[in-house]
Structure 1
Amino acid sequence: MENPATPEIHLVEQDGEVTLSIGGEQAMQAWERDLMWASADLLCEYGHDFYEVGLGLGLSALRIAGNPATRSHTVLELFDEVEDLFREQHPELPDNLAIERGDFFTRVFELPSESIDGMFFDPALEMDVWTDKELWAKTMPEVVRILRPGGVFIPFFSTKPELRWQYLPHFRRIRVERHPYTAYDTTTYTHGTTGDAYIQCFLKD
Structure 2
Amino acid sequence: MTGSLHPGKDSAGGERTAEERAKTPEIELIETDGEVTLSIGGEQAMQAWERDLMWASADLLCQHGKDFYEVGLGLGLSALRIAANPATRSHTVLELFDEVEELFRDRHPELPPTLSIERGDFFQRIRELPSESIDGMFFDPALDMEIWKDADLWSASMTEVVRVLRPGGVFIPFFSTRPELRWQYVDHFRRVHVERHTYQAYDTTEYAYGTTGNAYIQCFFKD
Quick check: 1:15 aligned with 2:37? no
Q: Which residue of 2 aligns with 1:112?
A: 130
Question: Per-residue deviation at 1:95?
Answer: 0.5
What does the per-residue CA deviation read over 1:51-77, in whole Å, with 9 as the maximum and x for residues that have no partner? 000000000000000000000000000
RMSD, aligned α-carbons: 0.6
Question: Normalising by structure 1, what TM-score?
Answer: 0.99
1:158 to 149, 173, 176: 176
Q: What code does the residue aligned with 2:160 have?
A: E
What does the per-residue CA deviation read over 1:68-107, in whole Å, with 9 as the maximum and x for residues that have no partner? 0000000000000000000000000001100000000000
In structure 1, distance between residues paired with 2:22 and 2:154: 21
Question: Normalising by structure 2, what TM-score?
Answer: 0.91
Unaligned runs of 5+ in 1: none
Q: What code does the residue aligned with 1:86 have?
A: F
In structure 2, distance between residues paired with 1:87 and 1:4: 20
What does the per-residue CA deviation read over 1:23-46, in whole Å, with 9 as the maximum and x for residues that have no partner? 000000000000000000000000
In structure 1, distance between residues paired with 2:23 and 2:123: 17
Residues 183/111 of structure 1: CA separation in 2 closer, same or farther (3 Å cut): same
| 3-state SS in 1 of match to 2:154 | helix
Q: Which residue of 2 aligns with 1:47?
A: 65
Q: Which residue of 2 aligns with 1:68?
A: 86
Quick check: 1:38 aligned with 2:56? yes
| 3-state SS in 2 of match to 1:160 | coil
In structure 2, distance between residues paired with 1:178 and 1:33: 15
| 3-state SS in 2 of match to 1:91 | coil
What does the per-residue CA deviation read over 1:127-148, in whole Å, with 9 as the maximum and x for residues that have no partner? 1000100100111000000000
Q: Which residue of 1 aligns with 2:147?
A: 129
Q: Which residue of 2 aligns with 1:202?
A: 220
1:58 to 61, 67, 76: 76
Question: Per-residue deviation at 1:13?
Answer: 0.2
Q: What code does the residue aligned with 2:188 have?
A: H
Question: Per-residue deviation at 1:4?
Answer: 5.3
Q: Which residue of 1 aligns with 2:118?
A: 100
| 3-state SS in 1 of match to 2:56 | helix
Quick check: 1:24 aligned with 2:42? yes
In structure 1, distance between residues paired with 2:221 and 2:22: 34
Q: Which residue of 2 aligns with 1:77?
A: 95
Identity of aligned residues (%): 79
Which structure has more relative contact order (CA 8 Å, sep 6+)? It is 2
Question: Per-residue deviation at 1:5?
Answer: 2.1
In structure 2, distance between residues paired with 1:52 and 1:137: 19
In structure 2, distance between residues paired with 1:33 and 1:79: 21
In structure 2, distance between residues paired with 1:66 and 1:29: 21
In structure 2, distance between residues paired with 1:5 and 1:142: 24
Contact 2:22 2:97 (8 Å CA) reproduced: no
Unaligned runs of 5+ in 2: 1-16
Contact 2:22 2:96 (8 Å CA) reproduced: no
In structure 1, distance between residues paired with 2:152 and 2:134: 25
